[in-house]
Every structure is written in structure tokens, then in C-alpha cells.
């Protein structure tokens, strides 16, 4: 299910990054007491009273300037606002309402999206009455807070959550495989979507997805039902969307949350970028099955070692995803495009694979007999019993004497033994430890 999105906006130096860090629960954004320090949106996942949501931090909005960086920030903020379900408009209670606040307010009124005004830096009684002046910006909800001390943030979060859209259940058969193409702008996602659908020629009319404006595309191939989950590649965008690199992240997050299989599209001409690793990391952490799809392979000058060298680069850059297969394709010439859906079907089967308890425990027992767990401070880690508790991704619980004694290298060994026994092609697997009650 796709999570709601909150965008934090405002002029420079009002405390947006401090609020972001408090809500994210960790020091992600750079906090420095000078204007313009946060130049790109930063994303995090947050939670309030059991309700999870995405959080977007943005650079400070400045108007009337022609500076190229400031225009880039403005583009970023506009994109963040478009993706948001609710906007948190941060102001500075010590400064009162400024002309820049009024310009931001005009911009937000045009979006017709719900806005909560946070009057920040109200950590002294002499500034409390100042918050009432901010009602003249024209928004219903104005809340005095101190991001530094946490005062008022609970009321602010209650207000934000009240605006979150209701979850919409997806009306798909449980055997339907939900697939999304994720990756940086201009890697050829749209072309690959068209190549996949055009080759099968079995498109069903688009149906609404879980987000307000997502369009999913259901189709069938060789008796298997698929849904292409809405991504940036499925909707027309203006040029600004193609040029802003960071834009791909929040769309990828929304698609990942609703997918069984993610096709991580990499540009064969441009190679691997940090953004590719970040997006792939989200898919891995979400537990999606994954396939690396290297597009534009027709445009790459090749010899008999080029493909192997590129595979090695992928394995080095994405060491946390050794399970994900790699396909080299060309949406333009249709080279190997016919291999995508059969591979998607195969990794989806492994993603949903359930192992019987007796067979699972036999594999774990054999692994322990071959390589016993090491001792830690004179105590030996013991595994008594294993069971599979979930699929998509396959998740296993090991009942042990003391989870604190488990070393990550031994858990990695157990994961490798499970993969050797059952393959788990294209899917992450999860191993959880639980102390056995004695």
C-alpha cells in the first residue's frame, strides 16, 4: 500500500531541516544556522500513532532572484509539493510574517492541497502571541511549535495525519504479479514499458491504482496476469521533470510499496550512478523481488568482454543484492525484451515460495552440523527450531538461546545455505531471531 507523503516547505532559515530530523528520528538533513543550506529534497520514512508516511525536506524558497541554484531549488519544491498529500508550511515565529512567507503562501494556495502552518521557534512565552498573526496567510491550521525542543510537534502531527487520504484496497487477484520499472530519469523506463506491452499486444484498459492519480496497466502473458504499477514512465511529464534527477526517488518509493517485482532500469550508455544505488536500496529494504535491467545495450560499443565487465560493476556497486539477476536489453531494438516477463514470473514464484517446516529444519540442522555457530564470550549461539512466517519476501524465524550471541557473518552463512537449498532466485530473504522461552 502506498504511504501518504508530507512535504516540508518554507523560506530559508525557518527550521525545516530541524523539523525533518525530529520527525525522521535521526540526523539526516544538514542543520546549519544560515540560509540556503538544504539544496535538495531529502526523503525519510516517519510514523505517528501507528500511521507511517513519507517525509520530504526541501530547500528554502526565495522569490525575485534569477540565480540558477535558486531556480533549481524552486523546481525541486514544486515537484515535492506535487507529490505531497499534505504540505507542512514552516515559518519563523520570531520574525513574524515576512513578504517571503506571503509569497510562499500564495504559491501554496494555488496548489489547492491541505496546508498546515507550523510557526517555529516559539520556545519563549514572549513569542507565543506572535503565532496569531500567521492566520492572515489564509490557512485554517496554524500551530506554534519549537522544533528544537519538540514543543507542539504532537499537535502538528495530529493535524497532518488528519489530512491523509484513506487507503484504497487494490482489486487484483492474489496470483497477479505487480511489476514496476524504477530508476533514474531518462534511463528508458517509458520505452521499456511500451516495448513490453507492445510486444504482448494484450493491454486491458487502465484502472485506477491506490494513489489518487496512479494509473495501473493490467495485462496477460502466457496465462499469467500482470499489472504494471504506475511509475514516472507511465505518465507524460514536462521537461522540468526529466531534468531534475532527485524527482525519481519519491515516485520510485510509491511504486515499490505496491510491487511484487521491481525492474531496476540502468542506462547501459551512462553506467551506474549513486541514484541507482539509492533507488535499488529502497526496493531491497522493502523486500521486493528485483531484476537489474540494463537498457540501451544496442548503443554500447562492445567486445566479447563488455557484458562481463558491466556485470562485475553491478555486482560491486550492489553488493547487498547478489540475488538479483541481470538482463541486458534494448527497448529500441527489442533485443532480449522477450526475456523480461518469463524472468519476472520466475522471481515472483521464488518471492512467494513457502518451505515446509520439516524440510526447513533439516536444512538448518545440516548447516549447523557442517559449520557450528562460533562461541561468544564463552557462550555458544544455539538454534533450536526454525519456521517460515511470511512470503513476499520469504521470512524465517529462528528460535535461539540468545539473539545477542548471533554474529552477522553466521546469519549470512545461514542465508547462503537456504539459497543453496531453495535458490530464492531474485528475491531477498529475511531471517529473524527470537529467544526461546525455557
Residue 126 assigned ligand-binding role? no
Residue 10 assigned ligand-binding role? yes
Residue 296 assigned ligand-binding role? yes
Residue 36 assigned ligand-binding role? no
CA 80 – CA 110 distance, rounded (Å): 14
CA 353 – CA 259 distance, rounded (Å): 16
Residue among 205, 225, 223, 207 nearest 215 (CA): 207
CA 355 to chain centre: 29
Given a contact cutoff of 8 angstroms between Cβ atoms, the answer to whether 32 and 81 are in contact is no
Residue 114 assigned ligand-binding role? no
Residue 254 assigned ligand-binding role? no
Residue 124 assigned ligand-binding role? no
Residue among 228, 227, 234, 240 nearest 172 (CA): 227
Residue among 159, 165, 160, 112 nearest 138 (CA): 112
Residue 298 assigned ligand-binding role? yes
CA 234 to chain centre: 18
Residue 61 assigned ligand-binding role? yes
Residue 50 assigned ligand-binding role? no
C-alpha cell at 408: 552477522
Residue 17 assigned ligand-binding role? yes
Residue 234 assigned ligand-binding role? yes
Residue 392 assigned ligand-binding role? no
Residue 15 assigned ligand-binding role? yes
Residue 232 assigned ligand-binding role? yes
CA 153 – CA 144 distance, rounded (Å): 9
Residue 190 assigned ligand-binding role? yes
Beta 224-228 vs 215-221: how paired, if at all? antiparallel
Residue 370 assigned ligand-binding role? no
Residue 437 assigned ligand-binding role? no
Given a contact cutoff of 8 angstroms between Cβ atoms, the answer to whether 245 and 144 are in contact is no
Beta 383-390 vs 395-400: how paired, if at all? antiparallel
Residue 308 assigned ligand-binding role? no
Residue 55 assigned ligand-binding role? no
C-alpha cell at 320: 547487498
Residue 16 assigned ligand-binding role? yes
Residue 67 assigned ligand-binding role? no
Residue 189 assigned ligand-binding role? yes
Write the CA distances from 424 to 146, 171, 285, 363, 410, integer angstroms.
48, 27, 16, 14, 19
Residue 13 assigned ligand-binding role? yes
Residue 281 assigned ligand-binding role? no
Residue 435 assigned ligand-binding role? no
Known binding-site residue numbers: 10-17, 57-61, 120-123, 183-190, 230-234, 295-298
Binding-site residues for GTP, please? 10-17, 57-61, 120-123, 183-190, 230-234, 295-298
Amino acid at each position: 500500500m502506498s504511504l501518504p507523503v508530507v512535504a516540508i516547505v518554507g523560506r530559508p532559515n525557518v527550521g525545516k531541516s530541524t523539523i525533518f530530523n525530529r520527525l525522521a528520528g535521526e540526523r539526516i538533513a544538514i542543520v546549519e544556522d544560515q540560509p540556503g543550506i538544504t539544496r535538495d529534497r531529502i526523503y525519510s520514512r516517519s510514523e505517528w500513532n501507528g500511521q507511517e508516511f513519507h517525509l520530504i525536506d526541501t530547500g528554502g524558497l526565495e522569490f525575485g532572484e534569477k540565480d540558477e541554484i535558486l531556480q533549481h531549488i524552486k523546481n525541486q519544491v514544486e515537484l515535492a509539493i506535487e507529490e505531497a498529500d499534505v504540505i507542512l508550511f514552516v515559518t519563523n515565529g520570531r520574525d513574524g510574517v515576512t513578504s517571503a512567507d506571503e509569497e510562499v503562501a500564495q504559491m501554496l494556495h494555488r496548489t489547492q492541497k491541505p496546508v498546515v502552518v507550523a510557526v517555529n521557534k516559539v520556545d519563549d512565552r514572549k513569542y507565543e502571541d506572535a503565532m496569531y498573526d500567521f492566520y492572515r496567510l489564509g490557512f485554517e491550521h496554524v500551530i506554534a511549535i519549537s522544533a528544537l525542543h519538540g514543543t507542539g510537534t504532537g499537535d502538528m502531527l495530529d493535524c497532518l495525519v488528519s489530512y491523509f487520504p484513506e487507503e484504497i484496497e487494490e482489486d487484483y487477484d492474489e496470483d497477479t504479479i505487480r511489476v514496476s520499472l524504477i530508476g533514474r530519469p531518462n534511463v528508458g523506463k517509458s520505452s521499456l514499458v511500451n516495448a513490453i506491452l507492445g510486444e504482448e499486444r494484450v493491454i486491458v484498459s487502465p484502472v485506477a491504482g491506490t494513489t489518487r492519480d496512479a494509473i495501473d496497466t493490467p495485462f496477460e502473458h502466457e496465462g499469467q496476469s500482470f499489472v504494471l504499477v504506475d511509475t514516472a514512465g507511465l505518465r507524460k511529464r514536462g521537461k522540468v521533470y526529466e531534468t531534475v534527477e532527485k524527482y525519481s526517488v519519491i515516485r520510485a518509493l510509491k511504486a515499490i510499496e505496491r510491487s511484487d517485482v521491481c525492474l531496476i532500469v540502468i542506462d547501459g550508455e551512462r553506467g551506474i550512478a549513486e541514484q541507482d544505488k539509492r533507488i535499488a536500496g529502497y526496493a531491497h529494504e522493502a523486500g521486493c523481488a528485483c531484476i537489474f535491467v540494463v537498457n540501451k545495450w544496442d548503443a554500447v560499443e562492445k567486445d566479447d568482454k563488455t557484458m562481463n565487465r558491466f556485470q562485475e560493476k553491478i555486482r560491486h556497486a550492489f553488493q547487498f543484492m547478489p540475488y538479483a539477476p541481470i538482463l541486458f536489453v534494448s527497448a529500441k531494438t527489442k533485443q532480449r525484451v522477450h526475456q523480461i516477463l518469463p524472468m519476472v514470473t520466475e522471481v515472483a514464484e521464488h518471492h512467494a515460495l513457502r518451505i515446509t517446516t520439516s524440510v526447513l529444519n533439516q536444512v538448518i540442522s545440516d548447516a549447523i552440523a557442517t559449520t557450528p555457530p562460533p562461541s561468544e564470550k564463552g557462550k555458544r549461539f544455539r538454534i533450536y527450531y526454525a519456521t517460515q512466517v511470511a512470503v513476499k519476501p520469504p521470512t524465517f524465524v529462528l528460535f535461539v538461546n540468545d539473539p545477542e550471541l548471533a554474529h552477522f557473518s553466521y546469519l549470512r552463512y545461514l542465508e547462503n545455505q537456504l539459497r543453496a537449498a531453495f535458490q530464492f532466485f531474485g528475491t531477498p530473504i529475511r531471517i529473524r531471531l527470537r529467544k526461546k522461552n525455557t
